[in-house]
Amino acid sequence: MQTADSRPVSALTIAGSDSGGGAGIQADLKAFAAHGVHGLSAIAALTAQNTRGVTAVHVPPVAFLRAQLDALFDDFRIGAVKLGMLANAEVIHTVADALEHYRAQGHAPPVVLDPVMVATSGARLLDPDALQALRTRLLPMAALITPNIPEAEWLLERRIDSAAQADAALEALRARGAKAVLLKGGHLPVPGPMVDRYGDSERLARFVQERLDLEGHGTGCTLASAVAANLCLGLPLLAACEAAAAYVHGALQHASRPGLGHASVLDHFWSRRG
């Protein structure tokens, strides 16, 4: 999408790097590319990771993270920002400060927040003291948050075990300051198809997909990035979420297992092959 500004719209991911290539920055950039959107990245954390798990995490100095963000906002036309693994409170405050600074200068792309807390393997990716910073700084800033059921439980400090509780959780997250919520249903322990719940100030929607018998790796990262890419392409938020949910389901259907672990890595480019 182009206007009088000749630069194409770019999507920015601020997240952690997955050395195994299935999640994080790597999944985000593949999702952007699959949608035909130029991808930018600011790396907030490094992980030593494969399909079997996370063995180490390194958080670079926040001054370097801010330098990455300043370089990107100084040069590119950013149409949407996706936030992923931010690791600790200092990183969260650095990102929030930078986004507030650029909003004050007139650069206010919509923010899609994937509140990454635990990897597919079970490794914790967010320090316990960072949860309150995420709630108070990032939740109100986001145009959309995309938690899965365990992440919603952490944010709300309560269990979600049924469809009714998931419906109530969506509204509770909005009451905490989220402008719109896409609550992913893959972890909900109920039979039948998988249901992702969407809600904003005006609408409620459900995206229903066949539940697949596999352990997907990078699904949350990919979903949030696909939403951000669709926003860059000019789709309204609800349509961006619906298209992203269908895209991720297709990527899961075409997933493979390139490593020795049980996790299946999504095929981000399935839709471009026809």
CATH code of 63's domain: 3.40.1190.20
pLDDT, residue 130, reads 84
212 domain-assigned: yes
Number of folded domains in the chain? Answer: 1
pTM comes to: 0.92
Structure tokens at 189: 């322990």
pLDDT, residue 125, reads 60
Region 131-152: mean pLDDT is: 92
Residue closest to 32 by CA, chosen among 21, 23, 42, 40: 40
Label residue 128 exposed, middle or buried (CB < 10 Å: 0-12, 13-18, 19+).
exposed
27 domain-assigned: yes
Under a CB-based contact definition with an 8 Å cutoff, are residues 111 and 99 in contact? yes
Residue 119 — very low, low, confident or very high, per pLDDT cuts 50/70/90?
low
119 domain-assigned: yes
4 domain-assigned: no
pLDDT, residue 273, reads 75
Residue 64 — very low, low, confident or very high, per pLDDT cuts 50/70/90?
very high
Check pLDDT > 90 for residue 244.
Answer: yes
Label residue 178 exposed, middle or buried (CB < 10 Å: 0-12, 13-18, 19+).
buried
1 domain-assigned: no
260 domain-assigned: yes
196 domain-assigned: yes
pLDDT, residue 1, reads 47
Best-predicted range by mean pLDDT (28-37, 206-215, 216-225): 28-37
pLDDT, residue 2, reads 46
50 domain-assigned: yes
Residue 274 — very low, low, confident or very high, per pLDDT cuts 50/70/90?
low
Residues facing 145 on adjacent strands: 113, 181
Lowest-pLDDT range of 11-25, 43-57, 207-221, 231-245? 207-221
Convert the pLDDT of each residue in 161-197 to its tens digit: 888 999 999 999 999 888 999 999 877 777 678 899 9
Region 41-47: mean pLDDT is: 96
| Full residue range of the structural domain in which residue 170 is found | 10-273
